[in-house]
Chains A and B, each alone.
Chain A
Amino acid sequence: MTGNTGNTGNTGNTGNTGNTGNTGNTGNLGGVGWFIADRVDLPFVTRLAPDGQSELGSLRRTPPAHFGDRLWSANWYAWRVLHQFVAKVPNWATTLDGDARLTDIRNDLVADYDGQIDNLVLAARDERPDAMGLILSQDGEFFSDFLAVLTIRPGTHPQTWRVLNIASLIGSFAALYFKDKYDLPRPTQICPALLPPIPVPGHSSWPSGHSTQAHLMKNCMLRIFAKAAMPAADQDVWSADLNVLADEIARNREIAGLHYPADSAGGARIADLLDTVILTPGAVKMFDDAVTAAAGEWQ
């Protein structure tokens, strides 16, 4: 036995930072996920135009002025919105950090880790076997869960898909700021026996990235529906469904032993503050435009 030299590391799983999205499974909009075949003996670039006067590789279009918003994949477009978010609302973190309720959630956790872990022990014992499928599937991404509840696909609702990606990225960005600032220990650092069925992510516990992202995605969808002037009764249905979905995504991370309930609560609070205090209309134009475009898909 000379050892396992074949495993050079698990570099592929970026899902442990939250909802980074498996773009290959969510449609032909991610910019990755498939291969294009070409003939070895007759590359496409060498083929003759129908008039036989030129090779396709010699033909040129007028250079476009830009790559174009439309071609930006949803996940990469989200980065552009994030840049504008940081530039336009530079004090976002200070504002959130000054929220008394968010502070209480964190302080209550630090004051009583034991109480929170008691909850996780019961969850590991009683709920984990039933929740295992969700725990595993939502570890990498949970865009699919939202798409399923919404009964859409990226191709049918590309602007909505874009907003979901924006919400996911801004949520992750915000969560990681507070993870960095407070650097609170993971539950398994206090109660190793929780033995999560998936690796503990390589960043601190509070707040939950999954919870922040899922709740912000929910909030953004409800904003889209309101903007689309959807009947109130229908909005109520979506609100019920998406609230439960967001809570469930957060709770499954607790059942897995990765997060305290206070991590989920902190993430949900951050998502609500981002929605109501930070991303107010006019604050980040690219975000507003994305929501408006998405609303057009629900009218």
Chain B
Amino acid sequence: MTAVAREAPKHMSSLEEFTAELNAVMPVVTRVARRFAPSGHAEDVTQEACLAAWRYRDRFDPAQGSFQAWILKIVFHESYKAGARGRRNGLLLGRLTDRSHLSRQALPRGWDRQLEITVARLPRRQREVVGLYYFVDLPVAQVADLLGISSGAVKSTLADARRSIQAHLAGQESS
């Protein structure tokens, strides 16, 4: 877990300053969008999130957390909004909201298909925690901040998720 929370920006009054802060967190923003947005919508979600962040930049309070945590919450929210839009429109895409990483375009070499499918079948909270901790590579504290839960809850959710995955994989291998 190498990601480190950035210090909150001191000034974001100008577009240039805001863009500079955004540039610094774009790698992790991209990962969250690609992990949680509907397949093929990561770019749109990122754009919507950045526009929303610029529009409501006065609501950012450095005392409550880092700029990265703040923008990631927006990206996370926009990702679920995009999925809900898809479901409302009756698109199959929307039904795959939480499984965007299963898209064939994003399959890496040596991909553990069985593990990914098992993760995709976890309950939503466990899936989010696993996705943010293992795949987006956020530390426990930032996962907790992003999801609005305590660090202890993140750890226990991770433990529950690992047990579920192990049980599921063991059942598959035995059958």
Indicate, yes or no, whether A interacts with B: no
